Amino acid sequence: MPLTPRPQSQSLTQMTEYVLPQHANALGGVFGGQIMAWIDLCAAISAQRHCGNMAVTAFVDDLRFEQPVRIGQVVRLEAKVTAAFHTSMEIEVIVEGEDATTGRRWPCVDARVTFVAIDANRKPTAVPPLVLDTDEVRASQAAGEARRGARLLQKRGNPGGPQQPGKTS
Ligand SMILES: CC(C)(COP(=O)(O)OP(=O)(O)OC[C@H]1O[C@@H](n2cnc3c(N)ncnc32)[C@H](O)[C@@H]1OP(=O)(O)O)[C@@H](O)C(=O)NCCC(=O)NCCS
């Protein structure tokens, strides 16, 4: 039976992290890996809010770190499901830096992560479609489908990952 569509607003997830010395590199900026961990967490909550199941990270699109966030500043993350497929979902996570004393904000990363819903037997399970009730959500779903096609082409072209047995780089 088809699952009842869910509105994009259901998956909206916001996180706010204060940057402490343990998050930072020798230059006083947040480690890229720390930001990636927060992206993964924020996207996981968003995916689970949409699908109503546990969900695992299947793929992370290329990340570009635009501007650093430093010790004493704030990292803001906002995630939502931008497209729902059969058992997988694309989640966009927008990451910004913030100076809490002035309210100034700046772009840090715009990430897209694919999550797969997992049932009690740890097998992929169907996700509800998005409610396609606005031009914006319809465009988001269509753009997500195009990006998914490119990801799966890449997977088919490179099924074993970058280092396949017997191949040298
Ligand atoms: C993600 C995982 C469940 C997919 O399993 P699988 O056997 O490849 O399953 P399927 O081929 O049936 O694919 C399931 C879904 O994942 C999608 N998928 C798989 N690989 C993908 C990739 N590289 N990019 C985008 N989507 C991908 C498929 O398109 C499918 O989505 P759909 O049903 O919406 O079409 C499996 O690879 C896995 O468990 N990986 C480890 C996950 C993990 O440990 N993450 C980190 C901790 S959470």
Whether 34 lines ligand 1, by a CB cut-off of 6 Å, is no
Closest CA to ligand 1's atom 27? 58
Whether 58 lines ligand 1, by a CB cut-off of 6 Å, is yes
Sign, CA dihedral 150-126-8-36, equals negative
The yes-or-no verdict on residue 161 having pLDDT over 80 is no
pLDDT in tens, 111-131: 999 999 999 999 999 999 999
CA 25 distance to own-chain centroid = 23
Using most ligand atoms within 8 A of CB, pick from 54, 86, 116 the residue to mutate for ligand 1: 116
With contact defined as beta carbons under 8 Å apart, do 19 and 72 qualify?
yes
Q: What is the value of pTM for the model shown? A: 0.93
The H-or-E segment that residue 37 falls in is: helix 32-51
Q: Mean pLDDT, to the nearest integer, of 55-70?
A: 97
Domain residue ranges in the chain: 8-157
Looking at residue 160, its pLDDT comes to 62
Task: State how beta strands 105-118 and 88-98 pair.
Answer: antiparallel
Looking at residue 167, its pLDDT comes to 40
162 vs 72 pLDDT, higher one:
72
Superfamily name with CATH number, domain 8-157: Hotdog Thioesterase (3.10.129.10)
Sign, CA dihedral 77-81-82-87, equals positive
Looking at residue 158, its pLDDT comes to 76
Closest CA to ligand 1's atom 46? 57
Identify the DSSP state of 22: G
pLDDT in tens, 7-41: 999 999 999 999 999 999 999 999 999 999 999 99
